[in-house]
Structure 1
Amino acid sequence: MNETSHLFLAKRENNPLRDNILVNTRQCKHFPGDPERSIALMEELGRKLAQDGRADKTTVVIAFAETATAIGAVVSGFFHDCFFVTTTREKLPDWATAIGFEEQHSHAPQHYLCVRDEDAFRRAAQVILVDDEFTTGRTAMNLIRALDGCLAPRCSIYAAALAASAESFENFRSAGITPVFLASSDGIVGCSAPELPAPDRAVIPRKPDRITHVNSIYDPRLGVHADSFLAECSSFCTRLAGEISASGTVEIIGTEEFCYPALLLGKMLAGKCRAVVHCSTRSPMLPCGGRDGFAEPSPGEYPIVSRAVLRSVYDPERRVYLYNSRPCDLTVILTDAYSPDPAALNELCGAAGGAEVQVICWHGKKLPTSYLPEDAELLLTDITGKLEPLPAKEREPLIQSGVHYSELLPAEYRPSDAYFREYENGLKLWAKPNADAVRTVAETIWAEKGRHAVLVSLARAGTPAGVLIKRYIRRKYGVSLPHYSISIIVGRGIDRRAMEYILARHPADGIQFIDGWTGKGMITRTLRSALEQFPLYEYGIGRDKLDRLCEIAVLADPAGLCRLCGTHGDMFIPCACLNSVVSGLFSRTVLKTGVIQPDEFHGAAYFGELAPLDRTYEFITAIEAAMTYGEAQLPPPASGNGLAETREIAEKFGVPDIKLVKPGIGETTRVLLRRIPELILLRDPDSPLTRHISELAREKGVEVRRYPLKCYEACGIIRVMDNV
């Protein structure tokens, strides 16, 4: 075992189970350390583990949070076929299968390990448990017991750490676990803790000078293929290191369990400045005051000199600590909190030492929404304020002159009292048919894909349908399926980055795309074209499975294109009538160069000013109140041909481009809300199905004409603009 000059003891605060904590100055966790030396130490552990042919075996590396997540990431890079996962104390998604176990001696003992990829565990020839140090080894053995039944019978188990005690070494040997350590933690003599600890630093919150967003698709808490995760981290950190003007002393801070990217960025910056890396932590230790917090302590010296007590950016109700920060030229904070608490982030910036403070948010700029997180995860970039919403009279000429509709943000319609009344009447009349359609689609998805289904709704029209289907299955079967809402744009395709995000978490054959309704089938054809160009073979989808993957489930299919539908009738779907105020308060999706960066999801804007009018959950509740939970069968195949009828209408009315003909209740409503209509065709102007359309047409002064539609109840014809 190697020398121990980098190992020190610090006094724990308020922990009767354990007096001291081991502080490793080369770990870059509690102590601000040199990232190059830190990574070199972790690589030494990785090389030792990979000896004797172990590098070529199918491997699962499990790193204990918080302190070993970076060590585990570095170690995982030494194995050719490696699944890497960290334990966590954070809340996992409700769909994630996880096992719980306890960490011995900890102030926060409860841990979780996500085992959502059961095959990765079952096929592993070896499992490597990684921690910064083992005192007794009981935590690791608690986890192994919790994993009982998840691993192959002959799977070899290793316990690896930067340091460990002789007691843990013997405990592992007795349990049939092979220990691999770099240093002994026995006999480390630390300076006694101060009788009067130094007072905590006063923290004056400050806003960051700059916030940068990168859109990482991998999360080691959920498990990742090590090569993909490490490559993404390297790519982002290389780019960030090139963008950061660094000189003098630069402090890099990771947040709690998020350690590896901070360490890697520090190593990349080390060539042009003095870089020191450390992380905020839940571990409470007493400070002693005195020397420079960035200076390496002498042997036997007490390592912790200052402490800031902060709120966590993940959960402001939780207390965390930052040790040994001191004035420097620049601080760079990296966090993987999906929505960092603003006040807690300002506190962390205030505790940092940099004259300038930059923040890097690892998981993009998520779009606000009135949907609850447990109902939908919107894979959309927030572009609020970046693109001016345009009224239809300005937007329509641009579209007809060749500007793609996805580059323009339509101004949101603010419903009149009269229109709200028509919406409410329609909701009362058609809640039951909508609920029946949800039941039919949900039961079919469950029958065909079961608990492995992954709901992927097409924003925005598909999002409410996806929420209702998820809630139906959760209530009837007690299973919370993952539900993502992503962008698909005619002429641009599906959001590839969002697809990569989903496929980093779920098998491809579980995906079920969802939309609200069909018009003339443009989205259906766009989806198939996009998936044919996507490298699905990398995810186990061959030509034999492509047809099923391309199927969209819809509530209403008047175009006659979808097998998986609630009805082939042109049904009144209330969420088609009010746009954002019944669909989570976000816009249609946007893809515009300069607004959306290459690694970002497609974008949307949040209409917070419409919050007083928001009826998103009023709609959800009304449909659920009409829901029954019995069996259901798909309707027989459709007899009509919606696309052929659309072409007939275009020819009949002399419309030069079929794109200007929008059939179906949903599409006709959109024409009135977002475009410049020339004429509205209704099968029966007196039908309660289309009263809201008649009201909108009256408000906007648009002619309504009775017409013998076959597949549809309504059709909107967009005006050809004279000035184009």
Structure 2
Amino acid sequence: PLPVLDALVVGFCETAVCLGATVALELGTPYAHSTRYPAPDHHRLLTFTETHSHAPAHVLSHPDPGILSSTRPVILVDDEMTTGKTSLALIEAIQLAWPRERYVVGALLDWRSPDAVENFRITGERIGASIEVVSLLRGDSSSHVAPEPTPLEDRLVPRSAPLLEVVLLPDVRRATPWSANIESTASRDASIVAEALEGRHIAAVLGVEECMLLPVLVAERMGVTAQSTTLSPVVVSSDAGYPIRSAVSFESPFGLCPSWAYNVPRGQEVAIITDGGDPELNRRMAREVSRHTGERVCLVLTADAARDWASRKLGE
């Protein structure tokens, strides 16, 4: 790990919830993330909008109501930036209530245009703060003719009757670094889930929307790939070289809008780990994935998801 920094890391839902958490763990900093599903026992600190999202409303919430009260730098973590408007919206909201001198935006991909880059400089001058951007890859984005979509019936036709196995682990919590001992807690919980999946031929572990850190840690222990569902629709095509080859569609277990899982391996067992949502919608999601793979899906329900399932006495 790097030397501990006196900063606060903030991840954007949904993809960067896990990415931001790993950055916070590596830097040894406190962590917060935006969410579409704020926990009832968390304090709602502010709201902002992701204008290009299919579910644009974000809430920044945290168990500690004073997490933003210091003047330490804020490190915002996202998977990619096209315009940077979401980052700037959050920066301005924080600066209005809890002013500070420095913000850093870290992204895997930075596709901002020169005008968008200039907008960061102008915004920083206007609010009286430094806004730095770091990324692993910098480039330009442009519009092209989309590949011919694979017909929906070709990518969603059931291969067999769904096979579903349910594992309830109510004592395993969402792995999010709210506290100093999160590394040991997350490691323990990941070991519990991995042990519960022993003896199965799992090829991939899927997280559900914002529940991503725990599935990643479980997949790491099992030596398999980690994926997640998403609220973002993406074109699916069989064109040579195109990366998104298949999709499974279902209603989000949280009932917000349609949800998707891409490139889930066919002909192999997968595990889905979720910590919330409606029990019946979780079951439907797992069954749709099973229809796609043609194999058994192990639905691992942790925390509130397990308790809700048990309280409704749902069978498999």
Q: Which TM-score tier does this pair reach, normalised by the shorter chain?
A: 0.7 to 0.9
| Deviation of the 1:313 alpha carbon | 1.4
1:57 has 2:5 as partner: yes
1:119 has 2:66 as partner: yes
Contact in 2 for aligned 1:84/1:224 (Cα 8 Å): yes
| Deviation of the 1:290 alpha carbon | 6.3
Matches within 5 A, 1:460-539: none
1:182 has 2:136 as partner: yes
The percentage of counterpart residues that share the same residue type is 23
Question: Given the alignment, which residue of 312, 315, 323 partners 2:262?
Answer: 323
Mapped partners of 1:189, 1:149: distance in 2: 35
Against the structure 1 CA distance between its residues 189 and 234, is the aligned structure 2 distance closer, same or farther, given a 3 Å change threshold?
farther
Contact in 2 for aligned 1:198/1:289 (Cα 8 Å): no
| Deviation of the 1:357 alpha carbon | 1.7
Contact in 2 for aligned 1:65/1:87 (Cα 8 Å): yes
2:307 corresponds in structure 1 to 366
Against the structure 1 CA distance between its residues 261 and 169, is the aligned structure 2 distance closer, same or farther, given a 3 Å change threshold?
farther
Mapped partners of 2:62, 2:185: distance in 1: 22
Contact in 1 for aligned 2:107/2:136 (Cα 8 Å): yes
1:202 corresponds in structure 2 to 157
Contact in 1 for aligned 2:48/2:59 (Cα 8 Å): yes
Contact in 2 for aligned 1:71/1:132 (Cα 8 Å): yes
Amino acid at match of 1:131: D
1:257 has 2:210 as partner: yes
* SS of alignment partner, residue 106 of structure 2: strand
Matches within 5 A, 1:595-634: none
Against the structure 1 CA distance between its residues 97 and 58, is the aligned structure 2 distance closer, same or farther, given a 3 Å change threshold?
same
1:341 corresponds in structure 2 to 279
Contact in 1 for aligned 2:252/2:258 (Cα 8 Å): yes
Greater RCO structure (CA 8 Å; 6+ sep): 2
1:110 corresponds in structure 2 to 57
Question: Given the alignment, which residue of 291, 310, 329 partners 2:250?
Answer: 310
Amino acid at match of 1:289: S
Cα deviation per residue 1:457-476 (whole Å; 9 max; x = unaligned)? xxxxxxxxxxxxxxxxxxxx
| Deviation of the 1:343 alpha carbon | 4.2
Query: For structure 1, which runs of at least 5 residues remain unmatched after alignment?
Result: 1-46, 292-300, 369-380, 385-724
| Deviation of the 1:383 alpha carbon | 12
1:74 corresponds in structure 2 to 22
Question: Given the alignment, which residue of 338, 344, 350 partners 2:288?
Answer: 350
| Deviation of the 1:131 alpha carbon | 0.2
Cα deviation per residue 1:397-448 (whole Å; 9 max; x = unaligned)? xxxxxxxxxxxxxxxxxxxxxxxxxxxxxxxxxxxxxxxxxxxxxxxxxxxx
* SS of alignment partner, residue 30 of structure 2: strand
Cα deviation per residue 1:579-605 (whole Å; 9 max; x = unaligned)? xxxxxxxxxxxxxxxxxxxxxxxxxxx
Amino acid at match of 1:366: R
Give the number of equivalent residue pairs: 300
* SS of alignment partner, residue 251 of structure 1: strand
Against the structure 1 CA distance between its residues 308 and 231, is the aligned structure 2 distance closer, same or farther, given a 3 Å change threshold?
same
1:233 corresponds in structure 2 to 186
Mapped partners of 2:91, 2:186: distance in 1: 29
Cα deviation per residue 1:180-238 (whole Å; 9 max; x = unaligned)? 11111426898x52334332413577362231314234574xx812x433322211112
Contact in 2 for aligned 1:206/1:346 (Cα 8 Å): no
Mapped partners of 2:178, 2:254: distance in 1: 21
Against the structure 1 CA distance between its residues 245 and 320, is the aligned structure 2 distance closer, same or farther, given a 3 Å change threshold?
same
- Using the size of structure 2 for normalisation, the TM-score is 0.82
| Deviation of the 1:366 alpha carbon | 2.2
1:417 corresponds in structure 2 to none
Amino acid at match of 2:303: H
Cα deviation per residue 1:473-509 (whole Å; 9 max; x = unaligned)? xxxxxxxxxxxxxxxxxxxxxxxxxxxxxxxxxxxxx
| Deviation of the 1:123 alpha carbon | 2.3
Matches within 5 A, 1:258-277: 258-270=211-223, 275-277=224-226
Against the structure 1 CA distance between its residues 335 and 205, is the aligned structure 2 distance closer, same or farther, given a 3 Å change threshold?
farther
Question: Given the alignment, which residue of 85, 88, 110 partners 1:141?
Answer: 88
| Deviation of the 1:359 alpha carbon | 1.6
Mapped partners of 1:149, 1:69: distance in 2: 24
1:531 corresponds in structure 2 to none
1:224 corresponds in structure 2 to 178
Contact in 2 for aligned 1:263/1:277 (Cα 8 Å): yes
Question: Given the alignment, which residue of 106, 114, 121 partners 1:160?
Answer: 106
Mapped partners of 2:226, 2:68: distance in 1: 33
| Deviation of the 1:328 alpha carbon | 3.6
Mapped partners of 1:89, 1:216: distance in 2: 21
* SS of alignment partner, residue 303 of structure 2: coil
Contact in 1 for aligned 2:82/2:141 (Cα 8 Å): no
Amino acid at match of 1:360: V
* SS of alignment partner, residue 208 of structure 1: strand
Contact in 2 for aligned 1:288/1:306 (Cα 8 Å): yes
2:127 corresponds in structure 1 to none
Mapped partners of 1:219, 1:326: distance in 2: 25
Against the structure 1 CA distance between its residues 342 and 187, is the aligned structure 2 distance closer, same or farther, given a 3 Å change threshold?
closer
Mapped partners of 1:304, 1:345: distance in 2: 25
Amino acid at match of 1:57: L
1:578 corresponds in structure 2 to none
Structure 1, 230-239 or 170-179: larger mean CA deviation: 170-179
Against the structure 1 CA distance between its residues 334 and 354, is the aligned structure 2 distance closer, same or farther, given a 3 Å change threshold?
farther
> Higher strand proportion, which one?
2
Contact in 2 for aligned 1:158/1:180 (Cα 8 Å): yes
Question: Given the alignment, which residue of 209, 226, 234 partners 1:285?
Answer: 234
* SS of alignment partner, residue 56 of structure 1: coil
Mapped partners of 2:275, 2:308: distance in 1: 16
Mapped partners of 2:283, 2:172: distance in 1: 20
* SS of alignment partner, residue 209 of structure 1: strand
| Deviation of the 1:157 alpha carbon | 1.0
Against the structure 1 CA distance between its residues 95 and 244, is the aligned structure 2 distance closer, same or farther, given a 3 Å change threshold?
closer
1:90 has 2:37 as partner: yes
> Higher helix proportion, which one?
1
Amino acid at match of 1:201: L
Contact in 2 for aligned 1:331/1:357 (Cα 8 Å): yes
Question: Given the alignment, which residue of 177, 202, 215 partners 2:171?
Answer: 215
Cα deviation per residue 1:152-190 (whole Å; 9 max; x = unaligned)? 534x21100111125355443442211111111426898
- Using the size of structure 1 for normalisation, the TM-score is 0.38
| Deviation of the 1:72 alpha carbon | 0.5
Contact in 1 for aligned 2:250/2:260 (Cα 8 Å): yes
Against the structure 1 CA distance between its residues 153 and 249, is the aligned structure 2 distance closer, same or farther, given a 3 Å change threshold?
closer
Amino acid at match of 1:284: P
| Deviation of the 1:93 alpha carbon | 2.2
Matches within 5 A, 1:696-711: none
Q: What is the Cα-based RMSD across aligned positions, in Å?
A: 3.1
1:244 has 2:185 as partner: no
